[in-house]
Amino acid sequence: MTGVSTQTGGRVRRPSHGPGSLLEVAVREFLTRGYDATSMEDLSRAAGITKSSFYHHFSGKEALLRAALERALDGLFAVLEEEGSRSGTPLQRLQHIVRGQVAVLVAELPYVTVLLRVRGNTESERWALERRREFDARVAAIVQEAVDAGELRNEVEPAVAARLLSGLVNSVVEWVRPDRGPDHLPELVARAAFEGILPAAHDR
């Protein structure tokens, strides 16, 4: 465990503090304290190392934030490059993207949560917001394809639909517990998004 020494063969062995483990510590602190209220002193104390040791891996707090945001965004954009997002009907591709978004959210929950909390106060936050807008624009283009193909209602506004889909997915961060959530959660969310929660007419 980070920050805890272990004893082996009569000698105390210090845990390694690589970039990955330090990023995990930083993300936990950002989520607990808020990014703006977290200092490098807080981070080094939480990691159990000196500030100079922390600076050996990251140039500062902003670099940690950027690394966390990149991890979340890389996961989301990777979904767009999957075969299921690039082939099939527009509706099938949208469904795959929603399932993929949920899967990334569950797998990278702390990092995605940090992403969803950015407000554009720093350069890294503004970069992340721009990337999120790019993601929504690509989803909106597929929504437009689905409308043109008659798979969605004609009055659907693609940009609004893309934001609504993202909003539905992002709301999962408020209640999901990765260790207790259903394995088929991505499918459940996608079904709710595209089929609704009311029974089909023939089931009523």
- Average pLDDT estimate for 84-104: 96
Rounded distance between C-alpha atoms, residue 60 and residue 65, angstroms: 9
Topology classification of domain 66-197 = Tetracycline Repressor; domain 2 (1.10.357)
Q: What distance in Å separates the CA atoms of residue 58 and residue 42, rounded to the nearest whole number?
A: 15
In this structure, what token pair is assigned to residue 94? 């949208």
Nearest alpha carbon to residue 71 among 130, 127, 115: 115
pTM of the model: 0.84
Give me the pLDDT at residue 181, please.
65
Asked whether the predicted pLDDT for residue 4 surpasses 60, the reply is no
Please name the fold of domain 13-58.
Arc Repressor Mutant, subunit A (1.10.10)
Q: How far apart are CA 91 and CA 139, in angstroms?
A: 11
Interval 103-147: pLDDT, tens: 999 999 999 999 999 999 999 999 999 999 999 999 999 999 999
